[in-house]
Structure 1
């Protein structure tokens, strides 16, 4: 069987990418093989998507087009040692979504391969992800475009130099948790003000979603939108003043910086 797209690891993020790639027709099920150690997971992926599944990482690494690494960073050395022992002949484009694993380590594990370090985030699961890519020197321009095309299947894509990947991790990688905390806090504020929990949750979710879409579609700077909503002596400016008094913006900034620093530490 001719394998174009191989994936090592069939977890949640890998499945999100796989499902979108198949749905958009970038690859056919017959083009894909997924290696996964858990038998029940292999059975599920085969039944759900019609792809070939295997317990052998070497089978997935025989892909001629793309090899996706969707494993835990802790087992990277074990997986690459296994592949190196098999003496694989193909040199597909390697796309790694392993958090904290730098290009130099990826390139050492896949010597001679074109390698792209990738940082997606969890909204990719619903096709609304934000992905940053950093290619190695061996990656050809058309392969960079292929990597962008693949991750565009689950959202937006930007290319950055690798030294910015820890900052990307701090912002868009960790950011969904920060946004989730804000949504939870908005809903809690609604409950504290007398709203039933389900209604408060619905209001908070749609307010955040709608605001993000408005900013994206209009091209407004967030400060411009904030100014449009804050009428003199009104309710919104009273709330904004309270947020400022409690260091809301500085807390978010420091959270991103702390997550970036931790990403740096994990990559050492």
Structure 2
């Protein structure tokens, strides 16, 4: 049995906590949480009956075997200073703060600290997260496997080298926002052509969901999947040609790169 504590249970931390609690796979593990927003703590406690609310981040660290930091990069330093006196080397700290390296965490907890770094995304709320995960040399296999199972129940967890974490932010951490923009544009275009907004929302979202599933399950390349939909002189090829003409793919790549560059910049601010 492990005591798993969450410091910061807002959008991302809360999504992971709720997803794990509702997965039915917590076993005998105990769940603890702390957030500066006391109303949020009360609400989350109502939703997760087995949750223990702590009075501070330090108290949570004292009581937990695994501490999940769901706080923003802007406040990670103050949180590290708070929990450092309560940290001991048999505990594991998991950080999801964008641009914050494992070395930064070690700076406060010591070189022998067991640190895992993750980069999840908000579809954790519906059990479809993509979580990148890496560890330093102080994390043993048992704890790392537990961490992987923790994040696998809210979607999919894959190991990546830490040097790729900035890239992960561009391709999955931030990309739900780009995808929502695409769906939003489809809805607006459908409404303009006479469909009601709610029906358009269902048609657009289900089509994106299905296309994504095809990418994950088909042995064909993404390019070939696109070609397969485009009949000569048909409707789809007209749309695709217009998107190419307007630089759709280059716009997406530039957006991706902007997210990556900002992650690198945020990391340099923590040096």
* TM over 0.5, shorter chain: yes
Tell me the alpha carbon deviations over residues 38-88 of structure 1, each in whole angstroms, 9 at most, x when there is no partner. Answer: 22222222222121102221221124531111112222222222223x354
Unaligned residue ranges in structure 2 (runs of 5+) = none
Farther-moved stretch of structure 1 (27-36 vs 7-16): 27-36
Q: Distance in 1 between matches of 2:135 and 2:72?
A: 20
Match of 2:67 in 1: 67
Pairwise CA RMSD: 2.0
Structure 1 stretches of 4+ with a deviation exceeding 6 A read none
More off after superposition, 217-226 vs 111-120: 217-226
Q: 1:217-266 CA distances to partner (integer Å, 9 max, x unpaired)? A: 33332222222211111111111111111111111112111211111111
- Give the direction of change, closer, same or farther, for the CA distance of 1:7–1:197 in structure 2 (3 Å limit): closer
> TM-score when scaled to structure 1?
0.91
Please show how residues 113-152 of structure 1 align to structure 2 within 5 Å.
Answer: 113-152=113-152
Pairing 1:109–2:108 present: yes
The 2-side partners of 1:87 and 1:94 are apart by 12
May I ask how many residue pairs the two structures share in their alignment? Answer: 266
| SS at 2:168 equivalent | helix
Residues in 2 aligned to 1:63 and 1:3: alpha-carbon distance in whole angstroms: 10
User: Taking structure 2 as the reference length, what is the TM-score of the superposition?
Assistant: 0.90
- CA-to-partner distance for each residue in 1:141-179, whole Å, 9 max, x for gaps? 232222211110111111111111001001101110111
Partner of 1:11: 10
User: What residue in structure 2 maps to residue 93 of structure 1?
Assistant: 92
Q: Does structure 1 retain, via aligned residues, the 8 Å contact 2:5–2:33? A: yes
91 and 38 in structure 1: CA distance in 2 versus 1, 3 angstrom threshold: same
Q: CA deviation at 1:128?
A: 0.3
**CA–CA distance in structure 1, aligned partners of residues 87 and 166 of structure 2:** 31
Alignment of 1:168 with 2:171, yes or no, is no
State the distance in 2 between where 1:22 and 1:196 align: 36
* Structure 1 range deviating more: 113-122 or 196-205: 196-205
Q: Does 1:210 align with 2:210?
A: yes
Quote the offset at 1:91 in angstroms.
2.7
189 and 137 in structure 1: CA distance in 2 versus 1, 3 angstrom threshold: same
Question: Within 1, Cα distance between the matches of 2:151 and 2:29?
Answer: 20
Please give the alpha-carbon distance, in whole angstroms, between the structure 2 residues aligned to 1:192 and 1:159: 43
State the Cα distance separating 1:12 from its structure 2 match. Answer: 2.7
